[in-house]
Structure 1
């Protein structure tokens, strides 16, 4: 007896028909968002209502409406008024590489389950290493996100700088890493996953510009070492997530060399600036790092989720994990770059290298220079608008495309806490309104509105209108509070 359901699932004609309709729908989505034919960046709904909608849709919705409903009920990163999280408005061509990856489903744990993507990944990571300024002994690989990449880098650091075999024998002493207090939370998370505990995360205070205060490095190192903590690594942010501030990588590199520490750079957001002729200087010293993380899905126009982890010495890319699976791997000392499972947490991973390769092949490295430079320039333009407006305070001058600011009425005696509450309320109203999408953060107790200018269609005019909208919204909020 034939299994007609499976035949239907794998019917090529059926797939082609649905695929053609979907591509047409996505083309319309791009037109409607990038050209602002659709006013909304986000159609906000509270979680419980959204849950009920999709539960009901599974039971009674029309299957032909599925893609339309997804587009209607998600955040439109391609809209010029998307100024929220650090997620790219992906280049449309990478949706096609994502489709190819999903359909072919080559898991890449071993070479024969990912011949083309394994070789493509080697091409891509070699080019990234060269762009950073690494020498001929460098190598890297792609993995699923900055959090996983930073954890892997710190495991590599532990293996390289701690004599005791922690991986196989467990801890015999207290270990620690040094990192700025403004670093991304994934560094804390990685350290705790590794079993370092809170005491093993040595937080260096940030200076007035929210970058690591390098004058404190020796003091904190000596203090924690005297407590019996063996510090094996130091992490520099390029930049930090909340403010976009860059740590002084060259100074951190010098300190790491003096103390024989592994120097890791979390460049998940801003590492792509190695391609920017104008802003490459923000990363001075990155070429001295033992390892570097760069996300493709942030400032390199790719879909989530793909991250490069790059090593100055290729042996560190290969030998972090010593676990053996006889049916997959062997313990060869050769540089088996083509066996992904020996290098990453993932045994199975997507063919994410296709995204990087197709952008390089179709548009060349200059696409990353153009995009990063444009967005960083735009943040400086926005900062000027904020400075010139009587109702806004700028947290710090932007060094990337991240900018924090807050609304302050010109005729108010409001306390700091009242201003915090006002800005939080304004942001919630903007979220519910849906024309713009921006986020928020707290810096040293002060509540700020936060933008990350990720969209290549966002212009100065959109940002000026955003400030006007915030003022109008704040006036409505104030009236509601006082009524």
Structure 2
């Protein structure tokens, strides 16, 4: 490649021109989606058609149209009618911190490749530890997503609670972790990656509200131990993914203490409630956990993907991936918070800490309190509205901003109702006016809303409810005919 080509690629003049155009486009997009001027949340296109479009665009598309096409062909989370997945609505300022991270490309694994970012990350982690309720012995770091953070926490648990050096010598006996049957699937993945197998994932049944049935913990623990499984950890969900139900973390903590188990809290979605004066009670017991996960990209207005993993004892944050035995680590190595590559699964990671730090600096913790509280309140308002409608029912009263519900008709069987609700959801997806997801709980098909958008109101949800009712009645009429 000619040197002039590199000059073109790295031209600040060219970049300034393109970035100004993109920023203007983004500002129009934000204003249009939040205000409702851009009515659709997404413009649905079947997978094969979308694939063909981008194949053609690579060969024949106009480069100047690239960003416009991306905006046209993606889901608009800033639209108040986005009630879909647990993906946060990003604060626009974090676009700038992300842009700077992408430019500097400081991988952070060692201090000289991440001086400011390692220091900033330490401050962010300490702030989260303090808010959770940990003391000065605590510590943690940021990593790339809840799945990776939960895996890391369980690796830390195994290292702390299993006498045999599994990290260096492999398994010598069956090991297991306890978790509610309604927990996020990433806990299953972590267990299988760790080689625990199906028997090592001890699933405690959920209660009627879909949180862990803490009265069953003893039974499932004793059964596993009688089968020769060494249970070393128990996971509390805050909340579960499908219904947004919080486990009884106090009861789980007491059980963990009784049997000397590692107590981990998967607060990827709802751990941010520690910042809410109104809802932090849902996390009572987390302050005594050994580790806890909180996603910044769910309920903290940050872009994907950034997750905090904090430990009540910072030693565990430092030792998880150490290649030598713990007793060989001296005090200096133990304290090397500024070399993040020693503590995380990643060697290289983005400067994600800037998102957390910038939001705290500009808006303070109050922004997280306001956001979480508003969205949790909105789910309760939505539930109250649905409870007054004879042709709708909810799966359970919401504890967070997640609500599962369905259209019902007394003349239809469960099978028919399941099919009808699935068809309605698909119809709304293809229409693109609203975006919501779906789930099946105990054989019942529900429409599932995660109320992530801070501009969504009860009025928007009334429109959604009416659309679901109209679509259901129309489909029933077509079937009847």
TM value normalised by structure 2: 0.98
Cα deviation for residue 480 of structure 1 reads 2.8
The whole-number CA distance in structure 2 between the counterparts of 1:376 and 1:251 is 23
Alignment RMSD (CA, Å) = 1.3
Partner residue of 2:384? 384
Partner residue of 1:422? 420
Partner residue of 1:86? 86
- The answer as to 2:76 corresponding to 1:76 is yes
- The answer as to 2:458 corresponding to 1:460 is yes
SS of the residue 1:221 aligns to: helix
Cα deviation for residue 4 of structure 1 reads 1.2
The whole-number CA distance in structure 1 between the counterparts of 2:336 and 2:165 is 22
The whole-number CA distance in structure 2 between the counterparts of 1:386 and 1:413 is 20
The whole-number CA distance in structure 2 between the counterparts of 1:282 and 1:184 is 18
Partner residue of 1:35? 35
The whole-number CA distance in structure 1 between the counterparts of 2:362 and 2:412 is 54
SS of the residue 2:405 aligns to: strand
Cα deviations by residue, 1:290-339 (Å, 9 ceiling, x for unpaired): 00000000000000000000000000000001237xxxx99953310011
Cα deviations by residue, 1:202-256 (Å, 9 ceiling, x for unpaired): 0000010101000111111111101100000000000000000000000000000
- The answer as to 2:436 corresponding to 1:438 is yes
The whole-number CA distance in structure 2 between the counterparts of 1:124 and 1:435 is 38
The whole-number CA distance in structure 1 between the counterparts of 2:31 and 2:208 is 43
SS of the residue 1:263 aligns to: strand
Map 1:221-240 → 2, pairs under 5 A: 221-240=221-240
Contact 2:315 2:334 in 1 (8 A): no
SS of the residue 2:265 aligns to: strand
The whole-number CA distance in structure 1 between the counterparts of 2:389 and 2:95 is 40
Map 1:105-116 → 2, pairs under 5 A: 105-116=105-116
Contact 2:235 2:264 in 1 (8 A): yes
Partner residue of 1:398? 398
Partner residue of 1:143? 143
Cα deviations by residue, 1:352-387 (Å, 9 ceiling, x for unpaired): 000000000000000000000000000000001110
The whole-number CA distance in structure 2 between the counterparts of 1:302 and 1:64 is 28
Change (3 A) 1:183 1:218: same
Gaps in structure 1 of 5+ consecutive residues: none
Partner residue of 1:153? 153
Map 1:274-289 → 2, pairs under 5 A: 274-289=274-289
The whole-number CA distance in structure 2 between the counterparts of 1:481 and 1:158 is 55
Cα deviation for residue 47 of structure 1 reads 0.7
The whole-number CA distance in structure 1 between the counterparts of 2:21 and 2:228 is 64
The whole-number CA distance in structure 1 between the counterparts of 2:454 and 2:135 is 33
The whole-number CA distance in structure 2 between the counterparts of 1:477 and 1:99 is 47
Contact 2:246 2:399 in 1 (8 A): yes
The whole-number CA distance in structure 2 between the counterparts of 1:481 and 1:88 is 38
Count of residues in Structure 1 that have an aligned counterpart in Structure 2: 477
Partner residue of 1:291? 291
Map 1:298-447 → 2, pairs under 5 A: 298-323=298-323, 333-409=333-409, 412-447=410-445
The whole-number CA distance in structure 2 between the counterparts of 1:330 and 1:279 is 41
Cα deviations by residue, 1:403-445 (Å, 9 ceiling, x for unpaired): 0000013xx4211000000000000000000000000000100
Partner residue of 1:169? 169
Cα deviations by residue, 1:106-137 (Å, 9 ceiling, x for unpaired): 00110100111110000101000000000000
Change (3 A) 1:331 1:287: closer
Consecutive aligned runs of 4 or more in structure 1 exceeding 3 Å deviation = 329-334
The whole-number CA distance in structure 1 between the counterparts of 2:331 and 2:151 is 23
1:451 counterpart (449, 452, 468): 449
The whole-number CA distance in structure 1 between the counterparts of 2:48 and 2:273 is 40
Contact 2:238 2:246 in 1 (8 A): yes
Contact 2:146 2:294 in 1 (8 A): yes
The whole-number CA distance in structure 2 between the counterparts of 1:350 and 1:323 is 24
The whole-number CA distance in structure 2 between the counterparts of 1:228 and 1:334 is 34
The whole-number CA distance in structure 1 between the counterparts of 2:429 and 2:233 is 40
Cα deviation for residue 147 of structure 1 reads 0.1
Gaps in structure 2 of 5+ consecutive residues: none
The whole-number CA distance in structure 2 between the counterparts of 1:230 and 1:332 is 33
Map 1:177-216 → 2, pairs under 5 A: 177-216=177-216
The whole-number CA distance in structure 1 between the counterparts of 2:478 and 2:93 is 46
Contact 2:110 2:341 in 1 (8 A): yes
Cα deviations by residue, 1:253-282 (Å, 9 ceiling, x for unpaired): 000000000000000000000000000111
SS of the residue 1:333 aligns to: helix
TM value normalised by structure 1: 0.97
